[in-house]
């Protein structure tokens, strides 16, 4: 049977829900990623991660991948560079995700993992997931693909600190060099938007080595450091081998998390 939700028939979906199939919902965005990466960068990362995770785990548990949610909310600063397709209001995105999750749950699915690759999404997705939990007593997991690479990123990165700023920097560029090399234009990549603002409250790099870092603070990168090219980081340091190592680690961490999430049965209700 296909791992793709939309390739199944309605009776097959009914069976999949009865078998307690895990659903993966990839979420990306269409927005500028500097002069060297395609607009669909986040969609590629979310989609390919979901596919690889599903292929990796399907022999152990029933799993289905949804089509990628390709548009999302982005702050207006991103619109300085053409290509952005954004909801004007984050509430629209919250409602859309809520409705997708509610539809799945009303068909009987209980284990849903959102595989997000867009930096503006976490708070929105968490809110949708919290509302779903509150209304249905089903608790979708919200995950961030780049977060799953943090256990190996510091080891395999090539750029100086500030080179992995989380948006079109070394990390995303390396991932795309591994996943879709034909869509990467390395000759157009520059290091002029390496993130120079780095403190223990705003590390300025997703693999920061600043000691005594404090977590839980949100301060938008777009309001902390200016970007000349729409990039945060140093894409010139990216190579496919780094992307391969990051991707392998991402899949390994997802696999372990999904086992934990899927097997967990305790609930407050």
Interface residues toward Zn ion, by CB under 5 A = 41-42
Q: In angstroms, what is the minimal distance from the CB of 40 to Zn ion?
A: 10
Token digits for 165? Answer: 């700023």
**Would you say 109 and 25 are in contact if contact means Cβ atoms under 8 Å apart?**
no
Nearer to Zn ion, 41 or 112 (CB): 41
Q: Residue 37: which region, alpha, beta or left (left: phi > 0; alpha: psi -120 to 50)?
A: beta
Rounded Cα distance, 186 and 170, in Å: 11
Beta strand 164-167 pairing with 232-233: antiparallel
Cβ–Cβ under 8 Å, residues 160 and 208: no
- Which runs of consecutive H residues, i.e. helices, occur in the chain? 10-18, 41-57, 90-106, 122-136, 153-156, 170-179, 221-224, 240-263
Min dist CB 114 to Zn ion, Å, is 16
Closer of 13 and 41 to Zn ion (Cβ) = 41
CB of 148 to Zn ion, least distance (A): 14
Q: What letter would DSSP give residue 243?
A: H
Nearer to Zn ion, 46 or 66 (CB): 46
Measured from the CB atom, the residue of 42 and 193 that comes closer to Zn ion is 42
CB of 155 to Zn ion, least distance (A): 22
Q: Which is nearer to Zn ion, 41 or 63 (CB)?
A: 41
Question: Which residue's C-beta sits nearest to Zn ion?
Answer: 42
**Nearest distance, CB of residue 205 and Zn ion, angstroms:** 15
27/41 with CB nearer Zn ion: 41
CB of 43 to Zn ion, least distance (A): 9
DSSP state of 67: P
Rounded Cα–Cα distance for residues 160 and 191 (Å): 10
Whether residue 113 contacts residue 258, with contact meaning beta carbons closer than 8 Å, is answered with yes
CB of 149 to Zn ion, least distance (A): 13
| Cβ(249)–Cβ(148) below 8 Å | yes
Distance CA 1, CA 142 (A): 26
16 or 27, CB closer to Zn ion?
A: 27
């Amino acid at each position: 049977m296909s791992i793709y939700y939309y390739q199944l028939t309605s009776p097959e979906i009914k069976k999949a829900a009865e078998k307690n199939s895990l659903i993966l919902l990839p979420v990306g965005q269409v927005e500028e990623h500097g002069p060297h990466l395609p607009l669909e960068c986040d969609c590629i990362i979310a989609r390919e991660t979901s596919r690889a995770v599903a292929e990796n785990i399907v022999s152990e548990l029933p799993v289905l991948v949804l089509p990628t949610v390709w548009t999302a909310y982005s702050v207006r600063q991103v619109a300085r560079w053409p290509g952005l397709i954004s909801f004007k209001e984050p509430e629209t995105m919250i409602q859309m995700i809520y409705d997708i999750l509610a539809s799945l749950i009303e068909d009987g699915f209980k284990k849903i993992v959102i595989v997000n690759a867009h930096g503006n999404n976490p708070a929105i997705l968490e809110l949708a997931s919290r509302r779903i939990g509150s209304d249905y007593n089903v608790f979708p997991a919200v995950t961030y693909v780049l977060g799953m690479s943090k256990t190996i990123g510091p080891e395999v990165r090539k750029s100086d600190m500030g080179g992995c700023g989380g948006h079109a920097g070394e990390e995303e560029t390396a991932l795309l060099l591994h996943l879709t090399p034909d869509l990467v234009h390395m000759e157009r990549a520059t290091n002029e938007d390496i993130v120079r603002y780095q403190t223990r409250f705003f590390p300025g790099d997703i693999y920061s080595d600043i000691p005594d870092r404090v977590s839980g603070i949100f301060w938008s990168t777009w309001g902390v450091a200016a970007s000349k090219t729409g990039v945060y980081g140093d894409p010139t340091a990216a190579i496919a081998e780094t992307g391969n190592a990051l991707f392998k680690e991402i899949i390994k961490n997802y696999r372990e998390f999904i086992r934990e999430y899927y097997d967990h049965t305790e609930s407050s209700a």
